[in-house]
Amino acid sequence: MDEREERVIEFVVTASDADCRADAAIAQAAGLSRSAVVRLMETGAVTVDGVPAEKKQRLAPGSLVTILLPSPETAAAEPEEIPLDVVYEDEDVIVVNKPKGMVVHPAPGHEHGTLVSALLWHCGDSLSGIGGVARPGIVHRIDRDTTGLIAAAKNDAAHRALSAQLASHAMRRTYEAIVVGGIDAAGTVDAPIGRSRTDRKKMAVLPPGAAGAREARTHYAPLERFSGFSHIRLELETGRTHQIRVHMSHIGHPVLGDEVYGANRTPFERRHAALLEGQCLHAGRLRFLHPRTGAEMDLTAPLPLPFEKLLAILRETEG
C-alpha cells in the first residue's frame, strides 16, 4: 500500500454497532479515541454512506463508514553511521541485505536506527528524492523482522525505472520461509488483501470487491518437509503490506515465529524463541533490469544464521 491508501479507513457497520452513537461506534471499530473521531467529524473527514457523519447520529447496519486521516507530519530522516551489508552498488542503485530488527524507514516509535538513516550516511546526498524526506531512494520495503534484499535508487531516473518494474511485476522477489504444517506441492494464493475490519493494525484477506481490498497473489513451492513444519520458497507477484504473512496464515500455514498472524505458538517456537525473534522469513533473491543499462540483475543473499540453525534443528529432529 502507498502512504495515501494507508491513511483511509473504511468499514461496514455490523449489527453489533447498529443503533449506537456514531462517535463511540466508529472509535471502537477504527481503533481511535472518541475525541479524535469527534475532531475528524468536525472537519468532515468522517462520512457514512458518503454523507458527513454527526457524532450523535445512530448507525444503520450495512452502512459504509469512511475515515480520511490527515497525513502525519513526516520527520526528515537523519544520517546515522550504521554498518550495511552491501550486496551491489553503482552510481544508480544500491542493494543491501537487511538484518532482522531493522525498520526500513522512520515511523512513530522507530525514528532512529532505520535503513534509510544508514543509507543516508553511506550514500550521502546521492539517494533519489522521490521517496520524500522520510524514505529517500526506497523503491520497495520489507518488514522489520524479515531479513534480506532491498533495493534503493540513487537518482530519480533510477527510482522511476525501478518503481515501474515493481508496478509491472518485472521486479522479481523470491523469499524463503519456514511455515507451520506440511506443504507437499506448489500452489498459489490468490486472495485480495486490505486493512482488517476487526483490528486496524493488521492486514487481512478480504472478499473480492470489498472496500479497500487490493488484488494479491503469492506463489509458493516446498523445499523440505518436516514433522509439523515446511521449508518453502515464495515469490511475490504483487506486493501488499504483510502479503506473505497474511496469505500463509490464510491457508493455515503461518510463518514460523509470526506473533501477529500466527494463531498459537507451537512448542517448537516456544523452545527456540531466542533464535526466532520474529517471523522466519528471508528475502533471498532479487531480480530486475538495471535502470540505466538494461542488464539483467540477479542478486542473492544467504539465509541468516538463525534460519540455518532452525533448519538444522528440524533436520536433526527428523533423523
Q: Which of 275, 276, 252, 274 is nearest to 264 (CA)?
A: 252
- Catalytic machinery residues: 143
First to last CA, the chain: 43
Name the grid cell of 227.
514433522
Q: What distance in Å separates the CA atoms of residue 130 and residue 120, rounded to the nearest whole number? A: 14
Q: What distance in Å separates the CA atoms of residue 258 and residue 249, rounded to the nearest whole number? A: 9
Q: Is 3 helix (H, G, I), strand (E, B) or coil?
A: helix
Q: Is 218 helix (H, G, I), strand (E, B) or coil?
A: strand
Beta bridge partner(s), residue 236:
173, 218
**Length, in residues, of the chain:** 319
Q: What distance in Å separates the CA atoms of residue 264 and residue 19, rounded to the nearest whole number? A: 35
Beta bridge partner(s), residue 282:
147, 176
Q: Is 134 helix (H, G, I), strand (E, B) or coil?
A: coil
Name the grid cell of 90.
553503482
